[in-house]
Structure 1
Amino acid sequence: MASTDEDDRCGVGIRGVAMAIDSGVWFALLFVAVYAVAAATGQIETVANGTDANLEGGPAAAALALWLGLAVGYHTVCEWRFGGTIGKRLVRIRVESTDGSPLSLGASLLRNLARLVDWLPFGYALGIVVVLSSDEPQRLGDRLGGTVVVRR
């Protein structure tokens, strides 16, 4: 594939819109993780209007770890197989290798593991600073994975 035209590369704004959409998926994955761990540990309670899972200690840590794994997995698989997550597809952007070729599974995994660092200290602050302070609109994860986000 031809090299990606730099004019098609996406900055913070449209990527933020895609992430806001994907936050809904993250929220759903949080419920999946919490209720999966609660079911496995027998900590689901029936209450008047449904069920409740109140996790503490080890089960709460397990649910957090499962949620992070699901969230990283969601981004990794969607970007590797389809070029983008639900949010990216809705705003018509995609992730590619810097040479314009489709992502490898390894590059997608690396960029999405680095997402946990880009998110620090809160709300993708480090990722936003890196994108805004560099010549290329790439967050740390993009640089490590050799990727760019482009308009479709």
Structure 2
Amino acid sequence: MVEPASLRSRTPAFLCDQAIVLVLGVVPTVAAGVPLADIVDPGTTRRQVFVLLMGIAFVYHFVLEWQTGTTVGKRLLGLGVRRDDGTAIGVGESFVRNALRLIDGLGYWGVAVAIILVRGDGKRLGDVFGRTLVVSVA
């Protein structure tokens, strides 16, 4: 049986990956001439940047997890994504688990945390439907 990584170890990995996504989205946006104030103040620009960041986050997680089984944040914390049986994930599993970030991420990831805590098996919605699990690989 494959043991899930704890929420305690997953959280700093998640925050690291979120920081990378922010840099990948916000730095080029500001470099293109969009004022930082427009990005953080409520309004159309902030909504557009949010959609951009969601797209970047999907591609970042989808490609890295599919190709390497991990992300930068997960790698730094000794974590990886595996199929339920412990084998490497493929394109399908990575796509499903990351497409469901749109739901898992609601409420500042409150949905994902609630599902992980209620289920007790370390799985957020994306893991349930993708048949994946975040595990310690260190």
Q: TM-score range by the shorter chain?
A: 0.7 to 0.9
Structure-1-length-normalised TM-score: 0.77
**Is contact 2:12-2:73 (8 Å) kept?**
yes
Structure-2-length-normalised TM-score: 0.84
Deviation at 1:32, TM superposition (A): 4.6
> Is 1:85 the counterpart of 2:54 in the alignment?
no
1:95 is paired with a residue of what secondary structure? strand
Letter in 2 for 1:105: V
Taking the TM superposition and a 5 Å limit, the aligned residue runs for 1:1-40 are 5-6=1-2, 8-32=3-27, 34-35=29-30, 39=32
CA distance in 1: counterparts of 2:125 and 2:28, whole angstroms: 27
1:133 is paired with a residue of what secondary structure? helix
**Is contact 2:22-2:53 (8 Å) kept?**
no
Question: Which stretch of the first structure deviates more once superposed, 104-113 or 79-88?
Answer: 104-113
Correspondent of 1:72 among 58, 69, 93: 58
Deviation at 1:74, TM superposition (A): 0.3
Taking the TM superposition and a 5 Å limit, the aligned residue runs for 1:1-152 are 5-6=1-2, 8-32=3-27, 34-35=29-30, 39=32, 44=33, 52=35, 54=38, 57=44, 60-122=46-108, 124-152=109-137
Please tell me the root mean square deviation across aligned C-alpha atoms, in Å. Answer: 2.1
The structure with more radius of gyration: 1
Unaligned runs of 5+ in 1: 46-51
Unaligned runs of 5+ in 2: none
Report percent identity of matched pairs.
31
Write the deviation string for residues 87-114 of structure 1: whole angstroms up to 9, x where unpaired: 0000101001112221111211111121
Whichever structure has more helix as a proportion of its residues is: 2
Deviation at 1:75, TM superposition (A): 0.6
Aligned residues: 133
